[in-house]
Structures are given as C-alpha cells and as structure tokens.
Amino acid sequence: MPPRKSDGPEPGQAPYFVRPKGHGRGASNPTEPRTATTERAAPGRSPAGRPAPHGGARPPRLTGRGAVLIIVLCSFAGTMIATLVSAPAVPGIAFTAACLATAALVRPADLLSLSVSPPIAYFVAVVGAESVLAAGNDGFARMLALGLASRLAEVAPWLFLGTALVLVIAVFRGLPGNLRTLGEELNGRR
C-alpha cells in the first residue's frame, strides 16, 4: 500500500485509493474510449480475457437459495401432479431430479447450504401441497396430518436417494473445502 499523504491529493488528481481511468478490472486500452465493441469478449474468452470454460459457453450457476427454491417448486409440482394422476412415484422422481440438477448447477461456495437443505425443502413443499389439497374440507388439521404422514412414508426412499446424490455430487465439487473454511471461521482463524 502506498504511503498516505496527510494533505490530500494534488489538484486534478484522484485520491490514492481510486483507480486511474483505464486501470483495473475489465479495462482495455486506456487511451481508447469504452464502447460496446470494446466491452465484448473475443470468441471463446471471458470478458476478463481468460479462456472461457467448455469452449465459450459458461455453465449457469445457481445460488444456494435458488437451488433450494427449485427443489421446493419441483417437489410441490410433483406432489400436485401425483394427486391428479394417482401416481405415487411422481413426487419422488421430481425431488430426485431437482436434487441432481441443483447439485450440478449450484455455485461451489453454496454447496454446504445446499447439502443440508433437500429434506427440509421437500417437507416445506409437501406441507404446502397437502395444505392446498386439504383446504375447504371438514377437519383440515386431520386431513393435513394424514396427508403429510402418508406422503412422507411413500416418498422416504426417494428422499434418501436425492439427499445422498446431493452429498456425493457436492463432495466431488468441493464440499470438503467448504467444511474446512467453515471450521476455520468458527475457530477464529479467518
């Protein structure tokens, strides 16, 4: 870090902590004005000039919250479809497919939060779906409790499978590093 000046910047100059024009991230030639053509990256390269992964197409990344929301929505839709077509495997298949997709697309920094969320996300989806299905009936609480118990019992193997798949994929995508970082933060080393 450069030494601080006590009297401030010279007239016409920015303070020391402000980057001069043309320096820093994404800057091209400092003498060339920034236009739409200079902002575009070359084919197969990211805007920062590094080679883009997978031949130019960067894979989409989800946040941890977005991934959990996708699991909830797919599980809710699967539960509603299963009720309409009387197919008890639909919610489990929808849940497992959502777990696979989100584990593959979530940002590496959010792997830890995603790895503990699938059972909770499925429970929230089933409570929502069974509440919609029990609405307007006499004995709402009894209908809700029976619907939850039966739905969770028939989907239990799918819950274990989806959660295990998320954990296996997360381990290969960097979950141990996230656990190490969390341990260091909790112990005050970071």
The answer to whether residue 16 sits within a structural domain is: no
Q: Are 90 and 43 in contact (CB under 8 A)?
A: no
pLDDT of residue 95: 95
Range of the domain at 83: 64-186
The count of C-alpha atoms lying within 13 angstroms of the C-alpha of 77, restricted to the half-sphere facing its C-beta, is 12
pLDDT of residue 38: 45
In total, how many domains does the chain have? 1
Q: Which residues pair with 45 in a beta bridge?
A: 51
The answer to whether residue 73 sits within a structural domain is: yes
Mean pLDDT split into 10-residue runs, the chain, 190 residues:
56 56 53 48 50 62 91 95 91 94 91 91 94 87 90 92 94 89 84
CB proximity list for 53: less than 8 A, separation 6 or greater: 59
The answer to whether residue 177 sits within a structural domain is: yes
SS3 of residue 13 by DSSP: coil
Q: Are 44 and 51 in contact (CB under 8 A)?
A: yes
| Cα separation, 147 vs 164, whole angstroms | 25
pLDDT of residue 123: 94
pLDDT of residue 76: 95
pLDDT of residue 77: 95
